[in-house]
Structure 1
Amino acid sequence: MKRPYPDAEQVLSLWFPLVKKFYQSHYPSGKPNKADPIWVIRNHKNAILCALRLKRIAEYQLLTAMVTEPSHRNIGLGSHLINNIHSALSDRPTYCFAFTHLVPFYHANHFTTISVEMLPAELQKRFQAYTAQGRSITPMRYILR
């Protein structure tokens, strides 16, 4: 039987130090920012199991720094998190730069692959900078179907 997961919640400033520590432990390049909405799933002991950040850039947002605690990967937490925050993802046009090996995951969670030319100018520059660093990423857009 599938284990039910708690709902996603937006991080309040009180929880920010825990989020920062979570990212330092599991995804050091995913530095959280208090100015950006961060969503998490916590267990009954308040330990963060999964988190993502919605970085606001102009009138868009970029889903970034999505990470699941290693011992809880591949059990559906990431999908559960995304599916619990549809209203936040629909609030403004949402994009992500998915690591190429994670494209199927994002396709299964309402993201569609797009061309670089379909990105807003502000995001095109960022995407090009990331790929120039050697990152294997794919531009995607959130479209709730």
Structure 2
Amino acid sequence: MIVTRPAMPAEFADAQRFYDACGYGGAAIVPTDTVILAREQERIVAIGRLCHEGGLLCLRGMQVHQDFQRQGLGTQVLRELERAIGDTPCYCLPYGHLVTFYAQAGFARVGPDELPELLRERLANNLQRGLDVIAMVR
């Protein structure tokens, strides 16, 4: 049975190891992040988090272990993150093919000119690195 829930701070090191194993190259987890884990017993199989950056709330680091993809775990994690977001504006910079996935949680695509400077720079950097990412806000 897989259980999806907020991580306790004591689980952040395991969550970071999961990110590292997935090859996630984003910023490291910090104590102010809200981390949502999907676990099969003690094994992390999916993760997502909310980060407070420069006065903004950002959804980052959605990852599902390759052996558990296409089973709805990403959607379960996204639902938990959606509850944590509440009515606060939230940004994300997902891969372009995930527009529909994030739209199910109320995210809508926006142009770079509609982003705060911090995210406009991150988007430009990701695009320059050849990543097929877009900007979305909820």
- TM-score normalised per structure 2: 0.86
The alignment of Structure 1 onto Structure 2 pairs a total of residues equal to 137
Distance 2:27 2:43 in 1: 18
Deviation at 1:117, TM superposition (A): 1.2
Change (3 A) 1:20 1:132: same
Determine if the alignment matches structure 1 residue 39 to structure 2 residue 10. no
Following TM superposition, by how much is the alpha carbon of 1:91 offset from its aligned partner in structure 2, in angstroms?
5.5
Task: Give the direction of change, closer, same or farther, for the CA distance of 1:104–1:87 in structure 2 (3 Å limit).
Answer: closer
Q: Deviations over 1:120-142 (max 9, x none)?
A: 22211221122122211110012
Residues 1-145 of structure 1 aligned to structure 2 (within 5 Å): 5-9=2-6, 11-35=7-31, 36-43=33-40, 45-90=41-86, 92-142=88-138
Root mean square deviation of aligned Cα = 1.9
| Percent identical residues | 23
Are the counterparts in 2 of residues 98 and 138 from structure 1 also a CA contact under 8 Å?
yes
Check whether the contact 2:36–2:48 (CA below 8 A) recurs between aligned residues: yes
In 2, Cα distance between equivalents of 1:103 and 1:86: 15
Unaligned runs of 5+ in 1: none
| TM, length-normalised to structure 1 | 0.83
The answer to whether the 8 Å contact 2:49/2:81 transfers is no
Runs of 5+ unmatched residues, structure 2: none
